[in-house]
Amino acid sequence: MPRPDRAPPVSAVIVNFNARDHLVECVRSLRADGVAEVVVVDNASADGSQDTLAASDPDSRFLPTGSNLGFGTAANVGVARTGSDYVLILNPDTIVSPGTTAALASALDRDPHLAVVAPRIDNPDGTLYPSARRFPRMGDAVGHAFLGVVWRRNPFTVRYRMLDWDHAEAGPVDWVGGACMLVRRTAFDQVGGFDPAYFMYVEDVDLCWRLRRAGWNVGYEPAGRVMHTVGASSQLAPYRMILAHHRSLLRFATRTTSGPGRALLPAVAAGLGVRTLLAWAQHRLDRRPPATH
Between CA 280 and CA 73 the distance in angstroms is 26
Task: Give pLDDT, residue 215.
Answer: 98
HSE-up of residue 9 (Cα within 13 Å, Cβ side)? 11
Between CA 266 and CA 273 the distance in angstroms is 11
Where are the chain's structural domains? Answer: 10-130+167-231, 237-284
CATH number for 10-130+167-231 (one of 3.30.559.10, 2.60.15.10, 3.90.550.10, 3.30.70.1140): it is 3.90.550.10
Task: Give pLDDT, residue 160.
Answer: 75
Task: Give pLDDT, residue 117.
Answer: 98
Between CA 157 and CA 88 the distance in angstroms is 28
Nearest CA to 40 out of 54, 8, 32, 29 is that of 54
3-state secondary structure the chain: CCCCCCCCCEEEEEEECCCHHHHHHHHHHHHHCCCCEEEEEECCCCCCHHHHHHHHCCCCEEEECCCCCCHHHHHHHHHHCCCCCEEEEECCCEEECCCHHHHHHHHHHHCCCEEEEEEEEECCCCCEECCEECCCCHHHHHHHHHHHHHCCCCHHHHHHCCCCCCCCCCEECCEECCCEEEEEHHHHHHCCCCCCCCCCCCHHHHHHHHHHHCCCEEEEEEEEEEEECCCCCHHHCHHHHHHHHHHHHHHHHHHHCCHHHHHHHHHHHHHHHHHHHHHHHHHHHHCCCCCCC
Task: Give pLDDT, residue 78.
Answer: 98
What is the identity of the amino acid at 76?
A: N
Task: Give pLDDT, residue 272.
Answer: 62
Task: Give pLDDT, residue 103.
Answer: 97
pLDDT in tens, 10-59: 999 999 999 999 999 999 999 999 999 999 999 999 999 999 999 999 99
Task: Give pLDDT, residue 290.
Answer: 47
215 contacts 127 by C-beta, under 8 angstroms: no
Task: Give pLDDT, residue 6.
Answer: 47
How far is CA 278 from each of CA 48, 211, 246, 293, rounded to the nearest angstrom?
A: 34, 33, 11, 15
Between CA 36 and CA 54 the distance in angstroms is 15
Q: Residue ranges of the chain with pLDDT lower than 50? A: 1-6, 290-291
Between CA 205 and CA 130 the distance in angstroms is 14
